[in-house]
């Protein structure tokens, strides 16, 4: 058969042959019709991607046939309620652009501590207005260090310490009833070395050895390493790990126990598609594509953001369109801003983290200046109307100083020196810094590093509480509200990182745990206890410690801003334009939606009062304008606008 069909063969001919060989007898009549309809609609796309990647292999069509079987099984296993949801979302696909959307990411064990316990947390999430809950990887993974669950041993099994798959499904249903979408991780760049595929490989099974990148000696790894970036130089140099048992070098971009999957093997694509559909069929609204930049390796390149990585993701997306069209992809590309954008598209990832905004908000806090933020956002904020940013200020990982060196150079900022400064500043080594961060992944060869720490500690709350500095405490709180306020208003889904909504400080306990000590990201993986949530929901009281008081001020401030957000359609689908201001400490943008509504946001990044020219209000068309945050009115275009330290305005006509 392979011989008879060359790759130029029309995809229709191929589709006919494949469908003629596909047994649909296990599907109901309705499902068979649905499956056939969707395959007909999307096969052209799938064929295109698949043959571009695998067409040179003699057995490409055999694997394509197998893939169709995997998709058929996916449809068979999709529950009727989810199929209903598919139809709903196909009719209104842009739910993720609504003004009511707010996300939160959390580790089950740091919040539950089990899946069952999370049910009792739902009222707390609702009090904040959360509509999207990302549970950090909760799959079975190695005991001890599992990279916070990002080393997956079994995608179909929940880590027993957290619960069971059926508990996860019932949580998904309970959340859905309350209007909260479940978001899960799709960790598909690598598996743990305890995944059964890895175990087969370890046992010498050639078929499964081909699931990974294994090398008998250093020749090829050395060639690759010329151009590879080291991700965790603090745990191991290079990107390969020698496995004593197999006497082979294994490609391990991240930790040594995380084996990179070999996507040049179509069997891997098919097998992972099966796992992906399993996750989709649990009932999640989005899958977070972990480390997606790394999935394709090409000699002589940094093996990040390769053209075929994009094709693979598009092919996965097409598979979802056939089986589970309600599910969208969220890109986790923490790479150069020009590369981040390339993952965003209706046919690739509908959602994407916005690491550039995140990093540059921190930059503006440190420098009290907004030029780099303004210029960078003017260049990179605008994306397809059918997609949306996921805007965040902290997450479970470190902060890397991702920005475009060309823009920095244009502004007279030396990128390398500036990154050095930011690291010094946020690790508190820079004199006068307010931040208590921890350096991460220091590279002994080039001195690079990244920064860890909680929102509150990086904003100065830890230091200010230590020295009982009232002004410092107030500044820290205002910094946090400013950072989040921008993510709530600039356009996209804001994503809160659990424990930051309560301004929790760095947790240094990880230093006592041998399985965590070497990975400083644990300093910002912080438990939220029942006591914490009770405090947040309690009536105001005068019996609070300074820390509790700060925590409540942040929580209530966020709650208030989020309520304003969900009650004003301008925060939903609308276009954002980043404005120039005449004050280097201020950042401003205007949004406009199809109904002609407008919002002008102006933010002050300094601890001094600032003034900007009132003609910026012209961006709204006419005055007076009302500040949604305070209810105050600004009247006259000719009068200068004053901004208190860290103040932000959300001005509407
Ligand atoms: C992603 C995760 C990070 C993890 C890495 C490897 O970047 O966010 O926590 O270490 O992938 O899975
Ligand atoms: C690197 C990767 C990013 C990952 C991080 C984990 O920055 O680019 O994907 O989240 O390492 O520390």
CA 331 to centroid of ligand 1, rounded, Å? 12
Distance CA 496, CA 491 (A): 15
434: its two tokens: 């307010």
pLDDT 10s digits, 367-392: 999 999 999 999 999 999 999 999 99
Distance CA 237, CA 425 (A): 26
Helix then strand count (H, E) for the chain reads 23, 25
- In terms of Cα–Cα distance, which of 287, 285, 329, 87 is closest to 175? 285
CA 231 to centroid of ligand 2, rounded, Å? 7
Closest ligand 1 atom to 151 CA? 12
> Scanning the structure block, which residue is given the tokens 């316990």?
117
pLDDT 10s digits, 515-560: 999 999 999 999 999 999 999 999 877 789 999 999 999 999 999 9
Q: At what angle do helices 80-91 and 266-283 cross, to 10 degrees?
A: 90
Look at 129-138, 163-172, 614-623 and tell me which has the smallest mean pLDDT: 614-623
Give the mean pLDDT of the chain.
Answer: 96
pLDDT 10s digits, 283-329: 999 999 999 999 999 999 999 999 999 999 999 999 999 999 999 99
CA 254 to centroid of ligand 1, rounded, Å? 8
300: its two tokens: 């002589």
Question: How many residues does the structure list for the chain?
Answer: 653
pLDDT band at 4 (very low <50, low <70, confident <90, very high): very low
Distance CA 474, CA 377 (A): 28
pLDDT 10s digits, 61-89: 999 999 999 999 999 999 999 999 999 99
Give the active site residues. Answer: 290, 332
Q: What is the dihedral of CA 147, 150, 152, 155, to 10 degrees?
A: 150
pLDDT 10s digits, 248-289: 999 999 999 999 999 999 999 999 999 999 999 999 999 999
Give the pairing type, strands 139-140 and 154-158.
Answer: antiparallel
The secondary element (H helix, E strand) that includes residue 648 is strand 648-652
* pLDDT at residue 623 is higher than 60: yes
Q: Is the CB of 355 under 6 A from ligand 2?
A: no
> Scanning the structure block, which residue is given the tokens 């006068």?
432
Look at 7-16, 459-468, 561-570 and tell me which has the smallest mean pLDDT: 7-16
- Residue with CA at minimum distance from ligand 2 atom 6: 397
Q: What pLDDT is attached to residue 445? A: 85
DSSP 1: -
| Secondary structure (H, E, C), 463-478 | HHHHCCCHHHHHHHHH
DSSP 212: B
Closest ligand 2 atom to 400 CA? 7
Q: What pLDDT is attached to residue 9? A: 59
Cis omega before residue 568 (within 30°)? no
CA 42 to centroid of ligand 2, rounded, Å? 33
* pLDDT at residue 602 is higher than 90: yes
Q: The dihedral of CA 340, 342, 343, 345: what is its sign?
A: positive
Mind giving me the DSSP string for 265-328?
SHHHHHHHHHHHHHHHHHH-SEEEETTGGGS---TTS-SSS-HHHHHHHHHHHHHHHHH-TT-E
pLDDT 10s digits, 428-453: 999 999 999 999 998 888 888 999 99
Stretch 353-376: mean pLDDT: 98
386: its two tokens: 């059918």
Percent of the chain exceeding pLDDT 90 equals 93
> Scanning the structure block, which residue is given the tokens 């305005």?
649
pLDDT 10s digits, 117-126: 999 999 999 9
For residues 577 and 556, is the Cβ–Cβ distance under 8 A?
A: no
Distance CA 494, CA 450 (A): 23
pLDDT band at 480 (very low <50, low <70, confident <90, very high): very high
Q: Is the CB of 519 under 6 A from ligand 1?
A: no
Give the pairing type, strands 328-331 and 286-289.
Answer: parallel
Q: What is the dihedral of CA 626, 628, 631, 634, to 10 degrees?
A: -30
pLDDT band at 653 (very low <50, low <70, confident <90, very high): confident
Alpha carbons within 13 angstroms on the beta-carbon side of residue 42 total: 23
* pLDDT at residue 3 is higher than 60: no
Q: What pLDDT is attached to residue 8? A: 44
* pLDDT at residue 638 is higher than 80: no
* pLDDT at residue 245 is higher than 60: yes
Look at 537-546, 578-587, 640-649 and tell me which has the smallest mean pLDDT: 537-546
Q: What pLDDT is attached to residue 539? A: 85
Cis omega before residue 113 (within 30°)? yes
For residues 310 and 348, is the Cβ–Cβ distance under 8 A?
A: yes
Q: How far is CA 100 from the centre of its chain?
A: 19
Q: What pLDDT is attached to residue 518? A: 93
* pLDDT at residue 202 is higher than 60: yes
Q: Is the CB of 392 under 6 A from ligand 1?
A: no
DSSP 95: G
Name the 3-class secondary structure at 359.
helix
């Amino acid at each position: 058969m392979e011989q008879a069909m060359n790759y130029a063969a029309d995809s229709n001919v191929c589709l006919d042959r494949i469908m003629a060989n596909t047994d649909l007898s296990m599907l109901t009549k309705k499902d068979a019709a649905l499956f056939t309809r969707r395959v007909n609609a999307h096969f052209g796309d799938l064929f295109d991607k698949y043959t571009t990647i695998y067409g040179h292999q003699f057995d490409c069509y055999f694997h394509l046939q197998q893939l169709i079987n995997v998709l058929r099984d996916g449809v068979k296993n999709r529950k009727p309620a989810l199929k209903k949801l598919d139809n709903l979302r196909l009719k209104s696909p842009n739910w993720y652009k609504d003004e009511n959307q707010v996300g939160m990411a959390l580790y089950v064990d740091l919040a539950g501590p089990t899946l069952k316990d999370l049910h009792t947390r739902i009222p707390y999430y609702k009090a904040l207005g959360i509509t999207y809950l990302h549970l950090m990887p909760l799959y079975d993974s190695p005991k001890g260090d599992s990279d916070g669950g990002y080393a997956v041993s079994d995608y179909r099994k929940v880590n027993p310490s957290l619960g069971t798959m059926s508990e996860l499904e019932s949580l998904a249903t309970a959340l859905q009833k309350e209007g909260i979408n479940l978001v899960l991780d799709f960790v598909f760049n690598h598996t743990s070395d305890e995944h059964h595929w890895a175990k087969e490989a370890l046992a010498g099974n050639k078929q499964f050895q081909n699931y990974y990148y294994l090398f008998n000696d250093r020749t090829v790894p050395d060639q690759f390493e010329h151009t590879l970036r080291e991700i965790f130089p603090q745990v191991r140099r290079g990107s390969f790990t020698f496995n004593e048992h197999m006497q082979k070098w294994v490609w391990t971009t991240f930790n040594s126990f995380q084996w990179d999957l070999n996507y040049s093997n179509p069997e891997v694509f098919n097998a992972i598609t099966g796992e992906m559909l399993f996750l989709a069929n649990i009932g999640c609204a989005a899958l977070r594509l972990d480390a997606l930049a790394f999935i394709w390796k090409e000699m002589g390149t940094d093996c990040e953001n390769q053209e075929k990585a994009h094709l693979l993701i598009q092919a996965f997306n097409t598979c979802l369109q056939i089986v589970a069209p309600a599910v969208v992809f969220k890109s986790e590309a923490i790479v150069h801003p020009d590369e981040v954008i390339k993952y965003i598209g209706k046919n690739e990832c509908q959602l994407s983290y916005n690491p550039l905004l995140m990093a540059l908000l921190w930059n503006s806090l440190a420098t009290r200046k907004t030029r780099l933020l303004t210029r960078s956002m003017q260049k990179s904020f605008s994306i397809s109307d059918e997609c949306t940013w996921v805007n965040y200020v902290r997450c479970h990982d470190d902060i890397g100083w991702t920005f475009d060196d060309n823009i920095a150079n244009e502004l007279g900022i030396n990128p390398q020196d500036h990154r050095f400064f930011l690291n010094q500043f946020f690790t508190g080594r820079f004199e006068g810094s307010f931040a208590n961060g921890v350096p991460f992944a220091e590279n002994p060869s080039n001195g690079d590093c990244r920064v860890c720490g909680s929102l509150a500690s990086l904003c100065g709350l830890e230091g200010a509480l230590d020295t009982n500095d009232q002004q410092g405490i107030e500044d820290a709180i205002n910094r946090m509200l400013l950072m989040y306020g921008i993510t709530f208003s600039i356009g996209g889904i804001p994503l809160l990182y659990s424990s930051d909504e309560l301004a929790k400080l760095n947790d240094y306990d990880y230093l006592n745990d041998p399985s965590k000590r070497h990975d400083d990201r644990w300093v910002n993986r912080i438990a939220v206890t029942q006591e914490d949530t009770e405090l947040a929901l309690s009536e105001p009281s005068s019996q609070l410690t300074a820390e509790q008081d700060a925590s409540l001020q942040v929580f209530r401030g966020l709650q208030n801003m989020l309520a304003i957000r969900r009650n004003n359609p301008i925060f939903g689908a609308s276009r954002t334009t980043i404005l120039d201001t005449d004050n280097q400490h201020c950042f401003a943008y205007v949004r406009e939606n199809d109904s002609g509504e407008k919002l002008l946001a102006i933010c002050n990044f300094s601890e001094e009062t600032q003034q900007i020219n009132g003609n910026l209000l012209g961006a709204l068309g006419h005055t007076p304008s009302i500040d949604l945050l305070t209810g105050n009115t600004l009247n006259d275009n000719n009068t200068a606008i004053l901004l208190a330290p860290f103040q932000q305005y959300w001005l509407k006509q």
